[in-house]
Structure 1
Amino acid sequence: MKIISNDKWTWYQLDINEINKITEVIKKYQYPEYEGFLRKIEKKNSSHIQVNVIDGDREIIYGSLMYHKHSFKQKDYNSFHFYITNEFIMTVNLDLSLLEETNHKQMIERMQSLSSPGESFFVLLGEIMKKHLKGFNQFEEDFRELLWEVRQDNNVNVLDKVHKSRYKLLVWTNLVISVKEVLLGIEEAFHEKITERIEYKRILKKTEVSLMLTEQYRKEFDTLIKLEEVVSSHRGNEIMKSLTLLTAISTPLTAFGALWGMNFKNMPELEWKYGYLYVIILIIISTVGIYFYLRMKGWTGDLLKGKKKNSFFK
């Protein structure tokens, strides 16, 4: 167990296997709410918030927060548990080394300089949000490259990348919403004691920016997927039109081939001296005639034109 404190509050950092010490700390400050907290600790990879008030003026907020995702291929979140009162902060299973961009010494010094545990906890949440925002920056770079791939080489592999990126966005959104939920829980517990503090305003702004980004990217993905659906529908229609056109044009060849492929005994055409030539000419004339008839009606459309590179439809 690690203990960080100033003259107004204390931060206890514990491992998940130190259940006895968790209970001792909570009982030391005479808070009865620990059994529910212990039950929540047993649940991994979950976020939850519980707010209680004891004797009218002793606020408690406890819960869990998912704060790190190792891979987008597996369900391998890192989460930690917290218990916050007016006298102390307790964190269980928090691995500060996962906050790679954070200067841990400066973060702890900032926390110690603040007068309340709730405001100090906002410093920690701010570092977690900084990590998430860095992830958004990388996500944005990948998304911009994906937009050009869709424009230049629109195929099923690119469509698969689009949906994988959309899944990543859902994961980032889930992580940000978890922080927002904790923020609202602390606000509910401590009200004006905390909402006018500078650290609250900082973390509030970070979460608002993150949620704004997730909403904007969600709209862009919706537009991109709708574009894919329009292009796919258009290409499907073009394929069906092409098959119909080819079938219509090849009808004379098929019909006459079937006719003279029969084995009836009395077929006068078999005695014609120039029957073979007549049949070839008849097939060519009827095929060309059907083609020009379809062209005159405008039913061939753009099917017989070459496709342009880097074009969705042409």
Structure 2
Amino acid sequence: MKIRHVKDGVFTTVDDVELTTTAPEEGFYWIDADGEDLQILQPLFSLHDLAVEDCLTEEEQRPKIETYDNHYFIVVNSIRFDDEEIFLRALNIFLGRHYIITVTNQKINELRAVKPILWEQEVSEPDRFLYLLIDLVVDNYFTVSDRIEVKIEKLEEDILMHTKRSHLSEIIGLRSEILWLKKMLGPQKEVINILNKKDLRLIDDQLQKYFRDIYENAVKISENFETFRELMGNLREAYQSSIANRANEIMRVFTAITTIFIPLTLITGIYGMNFDNMPELHWKYSYYVVIGIMIVLGAGMYYLFRKRDWI
């Protein structure tokens, strides 16, 4: 557990034995904790049992906001994309009048990235810290969105140029990730909308206007992933079309080869009947003439098919 007193964006480390529920004269406390630390923090700040229970669960958390008498409990999902799988990590936040507690079970980059912003903007209020943190979380969705878009474009190019069976599993996997993420974006968008519209006494009225900008970004992100869902459907159709076209190309080549060999088979069939009255059978050059005719006939048919772009 890391306890910091934040005043004008400047951090001062506080020992846990010095931490009290009494509000500091200026600034606020930022407590970065994990699940085990809640045993100490819950009685100290009267954190609600249900909120603490949600922090301790290892299952994926649905974004939400709960308002209690002396604090708010907010859950948002941070996103990470490693080019193979999308990960959502729950960021649990307790917001009080003079403190903010962030509880995570895994490392979240936004908590590290928010520090220089607090210093740059000389932040001294926990509600403004909340705004900056959620703004970073939502902005990171745009970064992941851009990377997913690049991956989709590359996958589309690979399918059109060199279709492989492995592309289908990539399409199905990425599509399921996008659908799952889009499902989680809905509740998170609603949480931000509540921060934008609902009368919340622990958040300054002027600051609520800034949450409107975050909400608009959340809507854009949701629309982006809806577009990605449609693109994945188009990619699947393109894959199936490419496979069908390749099968047609193969069948066209096989048909052309079969067509070329039909007259050659006819010739060999005629001269394989072993009739006695076949003058060519006893001619000295008959074998070479027949072979030559077959070569010329096969080459001529191949040239004709190539000229007409049949193969």
Q: What is the TM-score with the length of structure 1 in the denominator?
A: 0.64
Q: Verify the 8 A CA contact 1:176 1:207 in the aligned structure 2.
A: no
Task: Rate the CA distance shift 1:106–1:53 in 2: closer, same or farther, 3 A.
Answer: closer
Pick aligned residue for 1:47 from 51, 56, 61: 61
Aligned residues: 282
Deviations 1:244-303 (CA, angstroms, capped at 9, x unpaired): 2221221232344356557xxx642677323546755775798699x59xx8xx9x9632
Q: Verify the 8 A CA contact 1:180 1:207 in the aligned structure 2.
A: no
Give the Cα separation in 1 of the matches to 2:111 and 2:102: 19
Is residue 124 of structure 1 aligned with residue 121 of structure 2? no
Q: CA deviation at 1:128?
A: 1.6
Q: CA deviation at 1:124?
A: 0.7
Partner of 2:163: 156
Give the Cα separation in 1 of the matches to 2:179 and 2:118: 25
SS of the equivalent of 1:99 reads helix
Is residue 184 of structure 1 aligned with residue 190 of structure 2? yes
After TM superposition, the structure 1 = structure 2 runs for residues 135-146 of structure 1, keeping only pairs within 5 Å, are 135-140=144-149
Q: Verify the 8 A CA contact 1:110 1:123 in the aligned structure 2.
A: no
Counterpart of 1:12 in structure 2: which amino acid? Answer: I
Partner of 1:17: 36
In structure 1, list runs of 5 or more residues that go unmatched. Answer: 305-314
Give the Cα separation in 1 of the matches to 2:224 and 2:91: 25
Task: Rate the CA distance shift 1:190–1:288 in 2: closer, same or farther, 3 A.
Answer: closer
SS of the equivalent of 1:204 reads helix
Give the Cα separation in 2 of the matches to 1:100 and 1:85: 18
Give the Cα separation in 1 of the matches to 2:33 and 2:111: 20
Deviations 1:118-165 (CA, angstroms, capped at 9, x unpaired): x642321101222332344455556666666666xx0036x8679758
Give the Cα separation in 1 of the matches to 2:198 and 2:227: 31
Task: Rate the CA distance shift 1:256–1:199 in 2: closer, same or farther, 3 A.
Answer: same
Q: Verify the 8 A CA contact 2:63 2:191 in the aligned structure 1.
A: yes
Across the aligned residues of Structure 1 and Structure 2, the Cα RMSD in angstroms comes to 4.8
Is residue 303 of structure 1 aligned with residue 300 of structure 2? no
Q: Verify the 8 A CA contact 2:92 2:104 in the aligned structure 1.
A: yes
Q: Verify the 8 A CA contact 1:3 1:10 in the aligned structure 2.
A: yes
Task: Rate the CA distance shift 1:167–1:179 in 2: closer, same or farther, 3 A.
Answer: same
Partner of 1:234: 245
Partner of 1:248: 259
After TM superposition, the structure 1 = structure 2 runs for residues 29-40 of structure 1, keeping only pairs within 5 Å, are 29=46, 33-35=48-50, 37-40=52-55
Partner of 2:225: 214
SS of the equivalent of 2:31 reads strand
In structure 2, list runs of 5 or more residues that go unmatched. Answer: 7-23
The range that moved more, 124-133 or 218-227, is 218-227
Task: Rate the CA distance shift 1:160–1:180 in 2: closer, same or farther, 3 A.
Answer: same
SS of the equivalent of 1:156 reads coil
Partner of 1:311: none
Partner of 2:19: none
Q: What is the TM-score with the length of structure 2 in the denominator?
A: 0.64
Give the Cα separation in 2 of the matches to 1:70 and 1:227: 25
Q: Verify the 8 A CA contact 1:52 1:189 in the aligned structure 2.
A: no
Counterpart of 1:185 in structure 2: which amino acid? Answer: V
Give the Cα separation in 2 of the matches to 1:288 and 1:74: 53
Task: Rate the CA distance shift 1:139–1:47 in 2: closer, same or farther, 3 A.
Answer: same
Task: Rate the CA distance shift 1:35–1:212 in 2: closer, same or farther, 3 A.
Answer: closer
Q: CA deviation at 1:43?
A: 0.6
Partner of 2:9: none
Deviations 1:159-185 (CA, angstroms, capped at 9, x unpaired): 867975885687578667646523413
